[in-house]
Amino acid sequence: MNPGDPASAQRDVPRLVGGTTAAATARAATLLRRINATVVEMSSPDAAELAKLLENVFRNVNIALVNQLALLCERMGIDVWEVIDGAATKPFGFMPFRPGPGVGGHCIPVDPYYLAWRAREFDFVDRFVEVAGDINLAMPRHVVDLVAEALNDRGRALRGSTVGVLGVAFKPNVRDPRNSPAADILALLSGRGAEVAYHDPHVPQFRAADGRLHASRGFGELLDGSDVILVVTPHVAIDWAGLYERAPLVVDTTNSSRGHALRPRQVLRLGAGWSEAPAELAPPASSVSPATARS
């Protein structure tokens, strides 16, 4: 299931089934074929589970790749979002993933480490998978560094400033906050002396990684009371036009600013740097970032 995507619950999504015996597999497949049009019988529960792990780890590894590319692009003065869109024009052999503030949900942040742990039981060390997981887990700290950089541009320190966070669910347009990178981001901001508030139209209360329980503020209240706005989860229900019209300083980790007229040095984008001139108006890409599809 893909949270927030009703199509993932439809009959045409294939299901994998692997039983402890051939008879068990056949019986389970017979039942599941009443629910789904395509049922793939696997040789064992282990094979079925490893297929699921592969799919989740595949996404984690590719998100880690573009997150690393985003960090490099910041140093090179290149827009990573433009680079990915350019690569995605190739009609074969490339699947676009996009960077973000981290990964979340109940699968992607966990499965790489589970697979690496299981591999060690067979005297096999899967550092490749572990490194990808580590890269994504480190993104919240980089996001906090970007917030500090943005405030420094205004002659302010992170300590004592108020940071308004937009979106704390683990992916856009869902109310599920499990393993959201926002939990670490809020805790890291607080740990460095910032006052933290958030707005999320789908998550009325949210517990940060430091144990603090926060309540969602109104959108206007957040904008009026914050020294900088940090975009973490780009819900469609958020007033993006209002944000970029009103907020004097924004750190955008999801490319939500695409398609909006931006003032010079109004927006610091992950993987792209500062907005220097009004952006060419273009329709936003699918309500922003599949890589934030972090389930």
Q: Provide the annotated active-site residues.
A: 107
Which residues are CB-neighbours of 221 under 8 A, at least 6 positions away? 199
Query: Can you name the residues that pair with 15 across neighbouring β-strands?
Result: 39
Query: In the chain, which ranges are continuous DSSP H helix?
Result: 22-32, 45-76, 80-87, 111-120, 127-137, 139-153, 181-191, 219-225, 240-246
**What residue type is 164 in one-letter code?**
G
Helix axes 127-137, 45-76, angle to 10 degrees: 50
The closest alpha carbon to 61, from 130, 146, 158, belongs to: 130
Run of H or E residues at 230: strand 228-231
Q: What is the DSSP letter of 38?
A: -
Q: Which residue has the tokens 């592969």?
A: 54
Q: How far apart are CA 59 and CA 65, in angstroms?
A: 10
